[in-house]
Each structure stands twice: as structure tokens, then as C-alpha cells.
Amino acid sequence: MKRVVIVGGAGRMGQALASGLGELEDVRVVTLVDLHEPSVLHGASFASSLEGVDDATLDVVVDFSSPESAVVSAQWCGAHAKGLVIGTTGLSETQRASVEQAATKTGIVIASNYSVGAVLSERFAAMAAPYFDRVEIVELHHDKKLDAPSGTSLSTARAISDARKAAGLAGMVDPTTRATVAGSRGAELDEGVKIHSVRLPGLVAHQEILFGAIGEGLTIRHDSFERSSFVHGVAIALRAVSSQPSLTIGLDSFIS
């Protein structure tokens, strides 16, 4: 039985995790941590910070709150030898370094997306990348998401770029030579992979990877229609993480 504390437990993602993880036979959500007490505790206790949690009552901390909170959680878990699963995106280089330092003291899993479908779509994109001339990514999220591009699109773009490099392909060159409106062609990552970010109410998390070659195209699309879609991946991560020092980036290594 994995005893879990959820940081950001009053948020929409925290509530979805508390509900979904609480239904699993081998997981027990013991505490929800947030500045404000959640309206629904899902059978767990409440604490306003990790400092108010007895470390003897838990095995793993799950943090889907903010970059600043993720660093605090990493430092706390490192000091108390508790596993940590981070789903927060938008960490700065300094914040990322703090998480990596904590991973020298305990096990940490950090991923940009905990949907199994999203992980597989990234894997499929890397498989397709060497066989197409160009590729662009469109990521679509709800209008409360603060960072852009999404961590998922950045991870996907890097996987595509790495696959093209491994195949000995040159970087892609944008054929557009004149932009009537600056930025209309999106953001460009390594090897010329373009990313376009959409933020609209009503969306949750969606991504299209569009490949093109002479006479054909391939679109790989993934949709998370509800936040409950991330529960399965989080469960995989928290079952795998331990207090042994390690840093695992992404879910890919856990999915055969």
C-alpha cells in the first residue's frame, strides 16, 4: 500500500488525483496539502504545508501545484527520504537544478504529462520523425495554464529532434521568408521544430503532431478530455518511485 500526500490538493488537478488515486486498491491518499483547505477531502486529512505532515504517515509526495512549490516539495522529500512525483511544468533552470539536487537524496519522478496516451504519442512521433520532411506541433490547453509552450510539446519536440539527429538528418529550415505578423509561424525549438500554443476555455490538454512529406501527411493527435486521464500515469510513477536516490524524467521508461 502506497501512502500518498498530494500537494496542491485544493486545485482542480489535485482534486482529480485525490478522487482517482483514492479508488485504487494499492494506494491511500492520506493528506491533501494546500494553502486553503479543499472543499472535498476525499477521506484524507488536511495540512497547509508539508511541514505540518508527519513523515511517518506517508511514502510518496505528489506535487501538481507550482514550480516554487515543486522545489519546496523536492527539498522536503530529500530531507525526509520520501519519494516524489512532480507533474508541475514551467520550472526554471535554477528550480530544475534544485530538484536534481534533491534527487541525490531520494527518488524523484518528473514528467511533463502523466497521460499514458500522451507518452505513447511522443514515442510514435519519434518513430515517424526520420521519415518525413517537416513537422510542426500544435498544443492546446485551457486558458488557466500559465506557461507556454507546454512541457509536453517541448518534450515531444526534443524527442523528434533527437530522432532526426540519430538518423543523420539536417535541421529543418522554415520555407516562410516573410511574416506579415511577427510570431505567426510559432516558436522554434532545436532542429527547426515549430510549436504553436493555443489557450482557450473549455479545453483540458490536447496536442497534434503534424508530419509532412511529398504527397502525404501524418497527424498524431492526443486528447485529455478530463483530468482523470492523468491518474493512471501518476499511479504508475508513484508505484515505481522509492526513497533511493534517483531522477527519472518522463514516464517512458515505465511503459513497455
Q: Quick check: is 2 catalytic?
A: no
Q: Quick check: is 141 catalytic?
A: yes
**Catalytic pick among 80, 105, 142, 145:** 145
For residue 122, the one-letter residue type is E
**Catalytic pick among 2, 141, 206, 222:** 141
**Three-class DSSP labels, the chain:** CEEEEEECCCCHHHHHHHHHHCCCCCEEEEEEECCCCCCCCCCCEEECCHHHCCHHHCCEEEECCCHHHHHHHHHHHHHHCCEEEECCCCCCHHHHHHHHHHCCCCEEEECCCCCHHHHHHHHHHHHHHHHCCEEEEEEEECCCCCCCCCHHHHHHHHHHHHHHHHCCCCCCCCCCCCCCCCCCCCEECHHHCEEEEEECCCCCEEEEEEEEECCEEEEEEEEECCHHHHHHHHHHHHHHCCCCCEEEECCHHHCC
Catalytic amino acids? 141, 145
